[in-house]
Amino acid sequence: MENCIFCKIINKEIPSYPVYEDDVVYAFLDITQTTKGHTLVIPKQHVTDIFEYDETLASELFSRIPKIARAIEQAFPECQGLNIVNNNRELAYQSVFHSHIHLIPRYSKEDDFGLTFNDNSQKYSTEDMTSIAQAIQEKVKNHD
C-alpha cells in the first residue's frame, strides 16, 4: 500500500531496527520501546487487521511468534514475562492500519505497561452467556 508506514519499512524506504525477517514476516523494534525489546511482528503482505487474514497468512504469521518471543526472552534474561497484544480497528486502539502484533517483554510490575480487564460477570446471566456463545458458534460454523 502506497502510504502505509509499515509497508515503507518492509520496503526499506524507512529505517527500522530489524530482529527477524523471512519471506512472510518482518519483525522490528517498536520505536516507542514501551519496555526494552518491545517488538512488532507484521506480515509483509498488507492486511489492515485480523479481519483480513486468510487461514494461510494467519498460520504463517502466528507460527513465528513463539520463536521471536523466545529470542527476546533469551536476549534479556531479566525478562519475567511477555504480553502479546494485537489491536484491531480504531476503537480497539489500532493506530497504524497495517496489521501488527506487539511483543512486550515484562521485567516487573512497575515497568511502565499496564493491561487490565474489568470483571463484568455480574452483568450476564447463564442464559446471556449461553446466547452469546451460541451466536459466535453459529458464525464459526459458517466460516468452515
Which residues are the active-site residues? 100
pLDDT digit string (tens) for 14-58? Answer: 999 999 999 999 999 999 999 999 999 999 999 999 999 999 999
User: Is residue 93 pLDDT above 80, yes or no?
Assistant: yes
Please give the pLDDT value at position 144: 58
Q: Which domains does the chain have, with CATH numbers?
A: 5-114 (3.30.428.10)
Q: In angstroms, rounded to a whole number, what is the distance separating the alpha carbons of residues 89 and 74?
A: 32
Q: What share of the chain is helix, strand, coil (3-state, %, to 5)?
A: 35, 15, 45
Q: In angstroms, rounded to a whole number, what is the distance separating the alpha carbons of residues 30 and 20?
A: 13
User: Is residue 115 pLDDT above 90, yes or no?
Assistant: no
pLDDT: is 42 or 142 the higher one?
42
Return the ∠ at Cα 49 (arms to 139 and 144), rounded to 5°: 25
Predicted confidence band of residue 110 (pLDDT cuts 50, 70, 90): confident
User: Is residue 2 pLDDT above 80, yes or no?
Assistant: no
Q: What percent of the chain has pLDDT over 70?
A: 99
Q: Is-contact 9 27, C-beta < 8 A? A: no
SS3 132: helix
Give the Å distances, CA to CA, from 114 to 4, 92, 104, 117, 118.
Answer: 28, 15, 11, 10, 13
Please give the pLDDT value at position 113: 81
